[in-house]
Amino acid sequence: MRLGIMLHFFQQWCGINAIQFYSTGIFSSFGKGEFFARILTLAIKLISMIGVVFALLFVDRLGRKPLLYFGNIGMAVCLLLMGLFSEIIDGGVVPPIIFIALFLIFYEASAGPITWVYCGEILDAKPMSACVSSNWTFNIMVVFLFPSLSSLLGISTVFFIYSGVCFLAAIYFKKDLTETKGKSKISIQEMMKNA
């Protein structure tokens, strides 16, 4: 259950729901108006579907561990660059839009679906329900803290924090995650008892 809760912690604390819930506000801060922000929000959501397709096609070929590891590295780099270009470097509106789109693609190709797939493989009903509860708890925390953290620390610092969480997630998954690719649920659960 520890591994399941950690997966859900990292899935939420990468900032995904803060970015998705507040994407229109984030894009409005670029100074191009609310209509522009809404169009960008829609475009970004459509682009993130690329990541979902990638995950569906490659999760059983590449495995859960590599997708989570490289996905979190990709998200960390995108968040780091979003932090730099949102307040520190004035590069216009294009770089942050590109980095948000890439962040969502990496998320949808890794942490988004793999967390649920992996937990479904390694957990029974009761531990899975605890993990789902933890996911919602982390989600609520991230969404409610984002506006306060952004106004207190600045949006760049918040993106840097999320980037750090993604780097920690990559290290954690590299060291602690057991690959389940190609194994039956029974053999996975036997393997997890010995882990």
Instruction: Write down the pLDDT at residue 75.
Output: 97
CB atoms within 10 A of CB 102: 21
- Give the CA dihedral 62, 64, 66, 70, nearest 10 degrees: 120
Q: What is the pTM of this model?
A: 0.88
Residue ranges of alpha helices (H) inside 32-93 are: 34-62, 64-83
- Model confidence over 125-179: pLDDT tens digits? 898 999 999 999 999 999 999 999 999 999 899 999 999 999 999 999 999 898 8
User: Tokens 């590449």 identify what position?
Assistant: 62
Q: How is domain 2-194 classified at the architecture level of CATH?
A: Up-down Bundle (1.20)
Average pLDDT of span 109-122: 91
Closest alpha carbon to 13 in 194, 158, 185: 158
Instruction: Write down the pLDDT at residue 31.
Output: 65
Instruction: Write down the pLDDT at residue 135.
Output: 95
